[in-house]
Structure 1
Amino acid sequence: MERIRRIRGSGLLARFAVISAVLTVAVGLVVSQVLSHAIAQRAREQAEWTATVTLRLGVQSQLSRADLANGFDPTRLATVEAAVRSAQSELQHRSSAVSDLDPVRLNIMNLAGTIVYSDDHDLIGTHSSSDELPEALRGHVVSGFASSADDSGRDDGRRRLLEVYVPMQFSDADAPEGVMELYLPYAPVAAEIADGVRTLVITLAISLAVFWAVMFRFMAGVARRMRRQNEDLRSSVESNRHQATHDSLTGLANRVQLRDRMEHALATSATTGDLVAVLLIDLDRFKEINDSLGHSYGDALLRQVGPRLRSILREQDVVARLGGDEFAVLLPAVDGVAEARIVAERLREALHHRFDVDGVALDVEVSVGIAVSPMHGADAEELLRNADIAMYVAKEVKAGAVVFEPTEHVTAPSRLNVLGDLRRALDTDGELLLHYQPKFTLDGRHIEGLEALLRWRHPERGMVPPAEFIPVAEGTGIILRLTERVLGLALTQMRRWLDTGHPVPVAVNLSTRCLMDDDLPELVATLLAQHGVPARLLRLEVTESAVMGDAARCLDVLQRLHDLGVHLSIDDFGTGYSSMAYLRQLPVDELKIDRSFVMGMTDTQQDAVLVRTAIDLGHNLGLTVVAEGVEGAEHVAALQDLGCDIAQGFHFARPMPSDEIGPLLDRVAILPVPAAGMPTAR
């Protein structure tokens, strides 16, 4: 049992080596036993043949019924013995193999079992008690093994005999009238068996050894590959586990790990009585660094923040990056608010020291929000929310570090509460959802695409209007996370529609901050691949004012998105101050006329002129033109006269949830999607 446990505890290759060796030996033993049995059987058959031939060659022809019944007189006995010797000589002359089976004794018995002839004259007249005699008298040749008369008790093959019984039947008789009993030496048979087994064992051992060596080498290669794969898999699992709990840029803990550590600290505090503090830190005017020096400098600065913070903290404290320029510090055990405030000031002081980023000296100021459990929250979500509110208060009043005050900050500007709730909504599922508004050809026969519109179902306030939370999100880095969520929701739904045979394009709006994010094209490419949606079905809408704010920088991001195969659209056209030079360079496919001009085009000549000019401009640039805010039949007629391509508005359909879009797509055909850069056929 101990050996078995050792084998089980060893490696795969060692187990294979031991088990295969045991099986190989077992196969060898089984085969050798089978061969030994076959050789023994062959020896018996040869003995039977020898006895039968001896009888047929000369013995039986010298016998008569009277001899079997009455025995032999001396003269007849001499004649029979001469015939026996003649038969044996004839056998030896015919086959050299038979010489090894020179008979040891020959007996002839009649029907009563009396020995009427024996080469041992002392046995003549005695009665045979052989158990094989009845079977032989029934006409069967019977063979077996017996011990020699001088058996010394050793069973080494030289003392064993082959015993054969051959029926003696006269030609005019229906049944045998006697039996010849012949004893042959077993030693030659034993020697032949030993020689055959030895040859087999050697051959089998060599063959199985070669087979085992080949299989061992093969399994060794398999084991090496499996070890490498296991190591790669283990490394991948560790990498994935690390990526799931750490920020990819700074290597610090991310929001997931921070939340886990907070929950653990809060559970521990319930036993120890220690207070738990959370500090939310935001770098002031970080956007200016990115805009003036580039994102590479901004990223390098962010990587230096963590070590600065860590140099002030204890080993058990946690530093995390939540995204953008926001960091968080978890203090699992503090004496109270005063200690948390002291730590916050030390952290601010550490970050105020000049940073050296690739030879460029950078000065950074930060705003810190402080929340301490249990006064400011009993769970991780509430603590983070209140620390977030306190941090934005610190930004508003430029106070550096602010402790959350329930009596004051709950009545802080509503946008702070909205921002805190929006962060929480991003960390949960189900609150943020999309409605879709179809875009139709002006004849109403085809759907050209859908625009995804974000909706927020607040657990307490119900549906929150987009105008109440979108501007708040656009003012902070949270808009990037919000855009990623919208893209994920839209692509998930597009994949469902594709699976049901509806390849409908969907448009998603991008903010100015998104256009400034160099990582946006990589994010879009990753999400498209994850959801298995063709890039040509995704449309990204950017406002005219967003593009013109930093046209040169946006041009690079838009071009990379266009290179992916994504269709691009300029939204709210006519409300900004477009430079014709930049407008001509932008890799866009679609131009959307702002609703304010479309709705007024049937009432004022100025709006009609602007709509006509926008349509002509779009067509001249090779763009598809979409009119927003189409709410009446008069709008449709006017746009048809002007040659507009697509219309979007309440006249055709209001925004609706995805489960209402499905039946609509079943009723209305989808306009074929053109390649990027090609206008929709009018």
Structure 2
Amino acid sequence: MADRAMERCLALLRGARVLEGEALTRSLDELEAAILVLAAGKATPAGPCAVSVEPFDPDEPAIVLDMAGYLTGWNTAASTLFGYTAEEAIGQHVLFLYAEGDDDADIAELFLEEGSDLIEVRRRKKNGEIIGVRLALSLLKDDHGEANGMLVHVSPIVQELGDQDKVRLHARIIEDSDQGVLITDSSERIVSINSAFTRITGYAPVEAIGKTPDLLRSGVHDAEFRAKVRAAMRGSGPWRGEIVGKRKNGDLFPQSVTISAVRDGEGRITHTFSLFSDISVHKAAEARVQRMANYDSLTGLPNRSLLTHLLGQALMDARRTNQYGALMVVEINRMAAISDTLGHDVASELLCELGRRFRHLLRDADILARIDGSKFAVALPQIDRRESAASVVKKMLAALAVPLVIEGHNLQVSANIGVSVYPEDSSDAASLIRCADVAMAKAQESGGGSFLFYREQMDLRAKEDLMLEAELRTAVNEGQLELHYQPKVSLRSGRIVGAEALIRWRHPERGMISPGVFIALAEETGMIHDIGTWVLEEACRQIGAWRNAGLVMPPVAVNLSARQFDRRLPARILAVLDRHGVLPEQIMLEITESLLVGGADNVVAIMNELVAMGLALALDDFGTGYSSLAYLKKFPISTLKIDRAFVVGLPHEESDCAIARAIVTMAKQLRQEIVAEGVETEEQMAFLRDLGCDQLQGWLFSPAVTGAEFERMLRDGDRLSVARAA
């Protein structure tokens, strides 16, 4: 150890040769300390033989020295205070922290004087800054009780400001503050303002000092509010709040204000100061948030949330005055078609124009809101009688009869309107909206341009539909659906030449449910996708089973929903056919006229792809929709089915006879096969056969039967006796 101490002395001597000034002085001081250690036979640390001080308070700077003054410990807080890392500090003599002119360099003598374990000194930080610190020193001892080091806790000394310094500092803080500062004397005359006051209000000191705070008065607040502010200025106590002020240019602006009085030693008010901030940006942002939460972004009308709130307030007033109130839900028709055809911008502008047109028809007290994509609501808070609501509805429907010109397009739309009345239908806003919605949905069933008042029976029907929807989902998942098969017979031979697969629902409690009850609900809810997939899968499975049983099976017709008709349909059908080993010619796809009305090119492409696969297409319920020769020429349809609505009156109803004759003649010209549905009498059969109809299906021959019964009919060769109708 002595050798290492000698080596350190020599290194310090060599280093001192090239130093001068303060650096030389500090090097010589270190050399002196090293010589003292050498003389005492003690060695300094040859390197950073560190002692951890982190177990002490990590927020209080602490260092550890050996008895020669070399650093052996340095915590994180010491690094923060002095700027040196532990790696930079440990191993150096404590003198490297001393400021020039310090007289406490002999660290050993600190412990020779009785009770001198707390001293105040100056120290130098890494960046050269000189700071005052307070040192708390305590000896560290080894196992034999001998002193082997010292622990030094370092606390920065905060110098208290003098009175003049305080005045200068406070004045600087006030001047540089972002808040406006206004100081008045006991006579309420402005005696001082800061630069933020000028920036916010526009008034320079020469324009404001000597005036009263009424300089900023906006005239917005009432006398009671002004009295509260004036009372705070006269010492009633601090006041905080929001005030609308007026700038020099006349603009009004909201401000957040704090007012307090200053008293002298005897309690008299000498001055009053006001701190204020311009909160225009905050208020504007708050208004935007409120608008986004309560108003429709497209039309600027109240949304459903605000409608419910305003309607609730209006109903309270109506309750006090014993008046009626009404709520209308207005569904605009054809908006989706307009958006798809002319673009979203045209549809959006149309909705805005409809909002303006409706607003023009209503009273100022009436509430107009947009509550959904193409759905408006109108609240009539006070009406004399129920009929007053009907009068407004008729005005709105009449307004829709006038075309609107949007971006050069002459557009006309219709609407369905449901009306609920307070207090008959409900006494709260949310229920009134729901009742009007139910009535509107019922009006939609009657077509465009109609309205209905809510009736309790409608609600019962809506609840039944919800229950039926839940039960139908269960039916799909739990295998309650069945396929029955109604035979198609030839009017020439009387033999079975095909069948139509018809879905049935075997409800565990209600028994057999026909598709007329649930198919429309499945279309509306989207469950038709799952049901349609199941029907095709089950029909192909049955055809495969009949084939395996050695039965020669005629084509089976499967109904397709327009919702199933997309680009993936051919691939889905092909996968099912392959899975069950069914040939394409064993399946006929029946579609309805609603699919063809649009005449879209993609529909034609899909149909052509299906026909190219070997599938036949039949047009179901022909004559009940938008029958047109144009699409009969355009689409690859091989079979027309005459709807039962035109068969029931044959051969006695002249109009039914004329329609049936026209359909058969047209189909023959287009070389299409003709099937008549719903044939129940021999007279109907004879008339259709004489017209040249190819096939019939109906109760005259057989209702829809189970797969097992249809198989028996085929094996037994059941036939329709066409000779009896001759």
* TM-score between both structures, scaled by the size of structure 1: 0.38
Please state which structure has a larger fraction of its residues in helix. 1
TM-score normalised by L of structure 2: 0.36
Structure in which a larger fraction of residues adopt strand: 2
